[in-house]
Amino acid sequence: MTIAPGFQFSQSSLQDFVDCPRRFFLRYVRGLQWPAPESEPLRVYEEHLRCGAQLHHLIHQHLVGIPAALLSETIEEDERVFVWWGRFLNSGLAGLPAQRHPEIALTAPLAEAGGRRIVAKYDLIAIEPGERAVIVDWKTSLGRPRRDRLAARLQTIIYPWLLVRAGASLNGGAPIAPEAVQMIYWFAEQPNHPEVFAYSAEQFARDDAYLRRLAADLLARTADDFPLTEDARLCRYCTFRTLCERGEHAGPFDEIEDWFDDDVSVTFDLDQIAEVAF
């Protein structure tokens, strides 16, 4: 298999590989964009995505200094966004360090990936230099994954790992210790019950070994070695299900269990991304 030397691994691309190797192959090797909805009713699904994107934009604008009252006047007429925005203002930033870096990307190379890089874009990293480094991710999904499923997701693995690897530039040039890192998922539908994951040197070592194995496994495969997932439930929300003959209709939006609204691939100009020096 040939993956372009400049290909950047992200949490979403690696999650695709873990969930369904065929999906990774179709999306990132063949570069297919299959015209099928991820969920139905399509209008409801797209409207929820639009509202989620608006909340993320409002939060980012607020974190870069625009007053909340002024931003509130820009909200389009959708009750969900008003409610989510109010919940964020009440609890979204509670207890976070004052040094805040919204919408920031980090990257680091992975030897087992032939020098290719892992990249992540964070909703927010809040730093108390030498003390704490808190990752916060805003979620507007209807459902909430079980903690064990959330812990196993590539986002939960990559984000703390990458902050330890590449976050020194946010910490006055000093490396960030794994024990200083914390990851928080803040759910707009359950604002007073965030999911919090502490980090440690032991967890960093496990994550580092896992990501190296995952990259080595992926790059060692030939084009014929990307099988379909054995969990056909995942196909219900995959745009390639008709191509793979795994069903014609998208899964119902209100039955999505582990849906994360902003799991998307990201590509960046590496010159614009903070990273550690090697």
- 37-51, 57-71, 92-106, 211-225: the lowest-pLDDT one: 37-51
The answer to whether the Cα torsion of 207, 109, 183, 204 is positive or negative is: positive
Per-residue pLDDT of 4-51, as tens digits, reads 777 899 999 999 999 999 999 999 998 887 655 454 455 667 787 888
Q: Are 220 and 117 in contact (CB under 8 A)?
A: no
Q: Are 85 and 186 in contact (CB under 8 A)?
A: no
The pTM of the full predicted model, rounded to 2 decimals, is 0.88
* Residue whose tokens read 């099988």: 227
Total residues found in the chain within this entry? 278
Per-residue pLDDT of 75-131, as tens digits, reads 876 789 999 999 999 999 999 999 999 999 999 998 777 778 999 999 999 999 989
The helix or strand, by DSSP H or E, that contains position 105, with its residue range, turns out to be strand 99-109
Domains for the chain: give ranges and CATH numbers.
8-222+231-272 (3.90.320)
Distance CA 161, CA 149 (A): 18
Helix ranges (H only) for the chain are 11-19, 21-24, 42-63, 68-72, 79-87, 147-152, 154-166, 201-220
* Residue 65, amino acid: G
Q: Are 194 and 186 in contact (CB under 8 A)?
A: yes
